[in-house]
Structure 1
């Protein structure tokens, strides 16, 4: 899979997940004393704590992924940023004492979000840092895309 395809797929997934957070029935009611933004607070798919701000963040990452997928350079930058940001969010989910597991009360980052953010960061790190950029090679009037490792 190319890095551009990765950005496209992640963008679509983030858009779907962000939109699903606004659909009644996709989120199970949930409360948490440290979350101050309670609008839309619940467990998406009964597993992942979200609120309206969390859903908006997912939508923004989705749009960013779709835009980034338009170029190899943009896709690599997106993958690197997603890897770093989601690794940071995973670590924040482990720190309730500093109220970081709720992003200072704004966005829930605890529970199943921790392992999901770790998984997203690992996949994005592969496409952003491990996998080399996709190159377009032109030979005798034909164009093919190759990937170097």
Structure 2
């Protein structure tokens, strides 16, 4: 029996889409919470960008206005991409690869220079590592044959 690419009357959404929607929703929530005083400590010390921002989401993760806007944008893009199986795969696997790159960047830069423009601290770096591996794993492991309706060796364009 074929699995359908979309939920609704024909069947439930594939797990890869559900995982992408959940991850994207979390990014939107984190982006919003980054602008909430109290949830973000040192709110008055938040800068637009750069390592001088002393604001900390949940008192731990260094954030700036740019950092929060990037979370919001990434989450909204993920919600749009999660509407299809292929988009969900791209969001999770591509986003995972992106976050692994960000993790490497966070360890390679001198955090007291302009290179730390997002900004990131040790807690951010470890979170980026976990997000990178988690999203990549979900994007690659949850998408086997989901939404294709055919076997991989049976392309739709053959007569």
TM-score (norm 2): 0.73
Structure 2 equivalent of residue 22 of structure 1:
35
- The offset of 1:129, in angstroms, is 2.5
Q: Which of the residues 134, 140, 143 maps onto 2:146?
A: 134
Unaligned runs of 5+ in 2: 1-13, 151-159
Structure 1: runs of 5 or more not aligned? 139-149
Which contiguous aligned blocks of 4+ residues in structure 1 show a shift greater than 3 angstroms?
Answer: 35-39
Q: Deviations over 1:32-51 (max 9, x none)?
A: xxx63756x41100111110
When Rg is computed on C-alpha atoms for both structures, the one with the higher figure is 2
Deviations 1:85-112 (A, max 9, x none): 1001111111233x5x877242112210
Hey, which of these two has a bigger chunk of strand by percent? 1
- Superposed, 1:70-81 pairs within 5 Å as 70-81=83-94
Paired residue total: 132
Query: 2:75 aligned with 1:62, yes or no?
Result: yes
Note the C-alpha offset of 1:115: 1.0
1:36–1:103 Cα change, 3 Å: closer
CA distance in 1, matches of 2:79, 2:148: 20
TM-score scaled by length of structure 1: 0.77
Report the Cα offset of residue 4 of structure 1. Answer: 0.4
1:18 and 1:56 in contact (8 A); partners too: yes
Q: Contact 2:31 / 2:71 at 8 angstroms: preserved in 1?
A: yes
Distance apart, 1:5 and its partner CA: 0.5
Residue 84 of structure 1 deviates from its aligned partner by 0.9
Query: Any idea what the Cα deviations from partners look like across 1:101-130, whole Å, max 9, x if unmatched?
Result: 877242112210111111111111112223
Q: Root-mean-square deviation (CA), in Å? A: 2.5
Paired position in structure 1 for 2:50: 36
Q: Deviations over 1:35-84 (max 9, x none)?
A: 63756x41100111110000000001110111011000000011121111
- The answer to whether the aligner puts 1:111 opposite 2:122 as a matched pair is yes
Distance change in 2, residues 1:5/1:43 (3 Å): same
